[in-house]
């Protein structure tokens, strides 16, 4: 936002007000929305797949689409939100990881990763069990909630529960203007577009998992003295199962 302010000669406060006037929570949300509609390079951001394509061409398009989604998501990553989210995670007494449908895969990936840390983590595939686990969270904890649409009523119910209990709410989504983004204390948006053979939600899954991985890795690095011994213990335990 400071760079845009210098280029336009307009104050950062004015730019922020302009973004809010357009219906966005902040300038970062506007920037992410623009990124979803304005590819940075000349080729189509998400090349359409065709039955007439060769296997090699299809593979090239799929990999290129995934790489472009990751690059665009990274280019629009809110580093201020990332700093806050990592602080909440590393100071949390408990961490809740929740999501519904395909978004539950992102939560499960996070659970698989954060089990290697000293932070007690809660995860469930069942929605009612997620509500039960979320009920135990307090302001000393943190919640990472994934919902691609950001409008799923069950995900919103989980977010409302977090707000009611004053739990820091970290949201991973595909919609910068969604209700969940407006409720979040820190929000991260995966940029993806829908194609004929692949829904937007599935296309964004790799970027959303990468956001979760980023939250995990930075948190682990920031708590290295506690995490490193646990990494070794977990690795030894898993290695013992191999022949």
| pLDDT (mean) for 80-87 | 97
What tokens appear for 65 in the block?
């689409």
Predicted local distance difference test score (pLDDT) of residue 55: 94
pLDDT in tens, 93-127: 999 999 999 999 999 999 999 999 999 999 999 99
The pTM of the full predicted model, rounded to 2 decimals, is 0.79
Residue 203, pLDDT > 90, answer: no
Up-side HSE of residue 242: CA atoms within 13 Å toward CB? Answer: 5
Predicted local distance difference test score (pLDDT) of residue 42: 39
Residue 24, pLDDT > 80, answer: no
Q: Is residue 217 part of a domain?
A: yes
- Please report which residue ranges of 124-194 form alpha helices under DSSP H: 127-135, 153-164, 179-183
Q: Is residue 128 part of a domain?
A: yes
For 99, residues 6+ apart whose C-beta sits below 8 A from its C-beta are 105, 106, 107, 145, 146, 147, 155
Q: Is residue 236 part of a domain?
A: no
Q: Is residue 189 part of a domain?
A: yes
Domain total in the chain = 1
Question: Sign of dihedral through CA atoms 153, 158, 159, 165?
Answer: positive
Q: Is residue 57 part of a domain?
A: no
pLDDT in tens, 161-190: 999 999 999 999 999 999 999 999 999 999
Q: Is residue 145 part of a domain?
A: yes
Residue 44, pLDDT > 50, answer: no
Q: Is residue 106 part of a domain?
A: yes
Q: Is residue 219 part of a domain?
A: yes
Q: What is the CATH number of the domain that holds 188?
A: 3.40.50.10490
Residues spanned by the domain of 144: 79-229
């Amino acid at each position: 936002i400071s760079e845009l302010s210098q280029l336009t000669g307009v104050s950062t406060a004015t730019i922020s007000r302009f973004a809010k006037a357009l219906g966005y929570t902040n300038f970062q949300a506007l920037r992410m929305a623009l990124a979803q509609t304005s590819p940075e390079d000349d080729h189509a951001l998400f090349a359409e797949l065709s039955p007439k394509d060769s296997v090699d061409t299809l593979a090239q398009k799929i990999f290129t689409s995934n790489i472009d989604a990751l690059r665009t998501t990274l280019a629009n990553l809110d580093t201020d939100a990332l700093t806050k989210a990592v602080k909440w995670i590393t100071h949390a007494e408990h961490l809740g990881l929740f999501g519904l449908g395909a978004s539950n895969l992102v939560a499960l990936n996070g659970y698989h990763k954060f089990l290697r840390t000293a932070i007690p983590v809660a995860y469930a595939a069942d929605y009612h069990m997620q509500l039960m686990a979320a009920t135990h969270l307090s302001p000393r904890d943190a919640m990472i909630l994934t919902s691609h649409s950001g409008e799923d009523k069950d995900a919103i119910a989980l977010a409302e529960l977090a707000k009611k209990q004053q739990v820091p709410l970290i949201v991973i989504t595909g919609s910068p203007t969604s209700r969940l983004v407006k409720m979040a204390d820190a929000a991260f948006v995966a940029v993806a577009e829908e194609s004929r053979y692949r829904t937007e939600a599935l296309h964004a899954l790799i970027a959303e998992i990468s956001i979760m991985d980023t939250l995990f890795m930075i948190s682990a690095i920031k708590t290295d003295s506690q995490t490193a011994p646990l990494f070794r213990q977990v690795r030894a335990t898993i290695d013992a199962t191999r022949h």
